[in-house]
């Protein structure tokens, strides 16, 4: 058994941080990028990203670019070409429901696979989780969140709310400063992903150049078009073991087009909410006909009326 | 006098990498770590000062090490330990506890003999540091 003294003498490298033993081996002349790719298991994660997320072509392309860059950085490191650790903090911009949180979780898995994160979990927070109500409250709150996120990704939704220039005593500034410090000094311990609307995030970066300079990768999430929203809804239904009758499919197509024009439209999230309500109406309809025996088919099938009862059809054009 | 208490107390002091590995083990068991310090390491003193609240819901040792480092910096003359609490029904107790810092001049103790009723002998540990001062 190795003793503590052996370890202190360097018999065993203090490699708890290093993801693979090969990284501390002496620099070689060639490096098998493919082996590195296979060992990291990121192929599977990238394929799942392609398969399980509808649309998002530009986002998927950017994620593959970032993954390739980080894998090559690993390879360069193995061969002794040091450029310093690559920056990992990111910014995801886009409207609500465009998949930012979902992709951030996949990103955490990718970074874990490549050994850039020790655990690969995601801690999702907003301003209220970081900023306190009175003097001395903010620092412990922010630090507690940071400690929970260590080993994984800290996802800060609507990060620009941290900065409130209209109130010069706002405690958000204190949270930003603690974040900056940890983003700089503990880059091995966690990755920060900021998320929010594109224009507001740009304004936030203009007033917080320190934050801007620490973000290495910007990914923009486009809105989904009608076909993509329909496909997302179909995917969600499928995963819940529901299906749409032919007339319900027509109704959902119409729904998508109408819903987009109405207030508080939130892309894929609006689809999820619409389906939740359709399932309630489906259940209510079955319950009202409970004297007749139910087939498996009836239990699974959403009918057009379950969708058309939505007030989106009734109030098309007028405020809700 | 080298104070020994808690797990691994007869081993040489743990290195920071070994401390990290122990914390990783505790977290992998679902235990919540906490950092405590004291200038009174008497074995009967089970109430050390808490360095902040216990650290719940951590996934990685780095979060605990942040507090170990901060506590050492603020309390260079104190003993510091890490404890790991198991909240599982039936345990609900500390499962692991080990020293992560001792002061440059360690505490000393003397053993006193006390005459009890009926010629019985009892013993008590008394704090007596190398400088001869009682604390
Ligand atoms: N491209 C997509 N394919 C399938 N489901 C999606 C897609 N984008 C978003 N979703 C689903 O929509 C919901 C909202 O997505 P989310 O990632 O929370 O968006 P955001 O964080 O941008 O507001 C989630 O339930 C998610 O699973
Ligand atoms: Mg979100």
CATH number of the domain that residue B88 is part of: 3.30.190.10
Q: Kindly tell me if the per-residue pLDDT of A317 is higher than 60.
A: no
3-state SS class at A169: coil
Q: Measured between beta carbons, which residues in chain A are less than 8 angstroms from residue B60?
A: 118-119, 150-152, 189
B83 and B114 inside one domain: no
**Closest CB from A14, A118, A146 relative to B17:** A14
Instruction: Return the residue of A nearest to B17 by Cα.
Output: A14
**Ligand 1 pocket member A268 (CB < 6 A):** yes
B62:A186 CB<8 A: yes
B39 and B98 inside one domain: yes
| Residues with CB in 5 Å of ion ligand 2 | A 101
B98 and B118 inside one domain: no
Full pLDDT tens readout for chain B, 135 residues: 899 999 999 999 999 999 999 999 999 999 999 999 999 999 889 899 999 999 999 999 999 999 999 999 999 999 999 999 999 999 999 999 999 999 999 999 999 999 989 989 999 998 888 776 655
User: Is residue B115 domain-resident?
Assistant: yes
- Inter-chain CB pairs, A–B, below 8 Å: 51
Establish if A186 touches chain B: CB-CB under 8 angstroms.
Answer: yes
B120 and B90 inside one domain: no
B99 and B52 inside one domain: yes
Per DSSP, which regions of chain B are E strands? 32-38, 49-50, 79-86, 93-101, 109-115, 121-127
3-state SS class at A314: helix
A196 in Cβ contact with A101 (< 8 Å):
no
What domain range includes position B82?
A: 16-104
Q: Over the stretch A253-267, which tens digit does the pLDDT of each residue have? A: 999 999 999 999 999
**Closest CB from B17, B55, B67 relative to A16:** B17
Top-confidence residue, A127 or A34: A127
Number of domains in chain B: 2
* Cα separations in angstroms, A287 against A147, A171, A242, A275, A308: 48, 52, 17, 18, 18
B84 and B115 inside one domain: no
Burial letters B56-79, b for 16+ CB under 10 A, else e = eebbbbbbbbbbbeebbeebeebb
Rounded Cα–Cα distance for residues A304 and A308 (Å): 6
Q: Kindly tell me if the per-residue pLDDT of A21 is higher than 80.
A: no
Confidence of residue A320 (pLDDT cuts 50, 70, 90): very low
Q: Give the best residue of A7, A115, A139, A151 to mutate against chain B (max B CB count within 10 A).
A: A151
Token pair 């109430």 is at which residue?
Answer: B47
Establish if A189 touches chain B: CB-CB under 8 angstroms.
Answer: yes
Q: Measured between beta carbons, which residues in chain B are less than 8 angstroms from residue A190?
A: 62
Q: Over the stretch A254-312, which tens digit does the pLDDT of each residue have? A: 999 999 999 999 999 999 999 999 999 999 999 998 898 889 999 999 999 999 999 99
User: Is residue B11 domain-resident?
Assistant: no
* Cα separations in angstroms, B115 against A69, A136, B110, B124: 77, 54, 16, 11
Q: Kindly tell me if the per-residue pLDDT of A16 is higher than 60.
A: no
The answer to which of A31-35, A56-60, A107-111, B98-102 has the lowest mean pLDDT is: A31-35
B71 and B83 inside one domain: yes
Rounded Cα–Cα distance for residues A58 and A67 (Å): 14
3-state SS class at B115: strand
Question: What interface predicted TM-score (ipTM) does this complex get?
Answer: 0.84
Token pair 């220039």 is at which residue?
Answer: A165
* Cα separations in angstroms, B49 against A125, B41, B108, B127: 31, 11, 20, 18
């Amino acid at each position: 058994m190795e003793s503590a003294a052996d370890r202190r003498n360097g018999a065993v490298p203090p490699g708890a941080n290093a993801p693979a033993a090969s990284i501390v081996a002496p620099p070689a002349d060639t490096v098998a990028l493919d082996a590195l790719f296979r060992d990291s298991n990121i192929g599977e994660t990238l394929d799942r990203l392609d398969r399980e997320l509808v649309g998002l072509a530009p986002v998927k392309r950017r994620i593959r670019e970032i993954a390739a860059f980080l894998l090559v950085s690993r390879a360069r490191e193995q061969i002794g070409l040091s450029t310093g650790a690559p920056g990992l903090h990111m910014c995801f911009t886009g409207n609500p429901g465009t998949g930012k949180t979902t992709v951030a979780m996949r990103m955490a898995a990718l970074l874990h696979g490549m050994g850039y994160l020790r655990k690969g979990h995601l801690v999702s927070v907003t301003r209220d989780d970081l900023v306190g109500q009175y003097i001395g409250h903010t620092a412990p709150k922010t630090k507690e969140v940071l400690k929970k996120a260590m080993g994984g990704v800290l996802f800060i939704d609507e990060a620009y709310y941290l900065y409130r220039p209209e109130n010069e005593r706002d405690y958000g500034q204190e949270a930003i400063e603690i974040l900056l410090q940890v983003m700089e000094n503990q880059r091995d311990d966690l990755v920060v992903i900021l998320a929010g609307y594109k224009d507001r995030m740009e304004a936030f970066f203009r007033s917080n150049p320190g934050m801007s300079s620490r973000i290495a990768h910007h990914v923009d999430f486009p809105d989904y078009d009608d076909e993509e929203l329909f496909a997302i809804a179909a995917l969600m239904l499928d995963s819940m073991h529901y299906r749409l009758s032919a007339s319900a499919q027509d109704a959902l197509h119409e729904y998508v087009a109408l819903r987009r024009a109405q207030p508080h439209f939130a892309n894929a999230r609006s689809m999820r909410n619409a389906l939740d309500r359709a399932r309630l109406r489906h259940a209510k309809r079955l319950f009202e006909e409970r004297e007749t025996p139910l087939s498996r088919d009836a239990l699974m099938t959403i009918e057009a009326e379950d969708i058309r009862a939505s007030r989106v059809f009734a109030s098309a054009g007028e405020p809700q | 006098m080298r104070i020994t208490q808690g797990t691994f107390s007869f081993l040489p002091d743990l290195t920071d990498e070994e401390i990290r590995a122990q914390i990783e083990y505790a977290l992998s068991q679902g235990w919540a770590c906490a950092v405590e310090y004291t200038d009174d390491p008497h074995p009967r003193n089970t109430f050390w000062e808490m360095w902040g609240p216990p650290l719940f819901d951590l996934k990685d040792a780095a979060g605990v090490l942040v507090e170990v480092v901060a506590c050492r910096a603020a309390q260079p003359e104190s003993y510091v330990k890490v404890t790991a609490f198991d909240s599982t029904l039936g345990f609900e107790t500390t499962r692991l506890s080990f020293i992560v810092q001792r002061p440059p001049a360690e505490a000393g103790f003397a053993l006193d003999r006390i005459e009890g009723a009926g010629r019985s002998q009892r013993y008590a540990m008394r704090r007596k540091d190398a400088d001869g001062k009682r604390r």
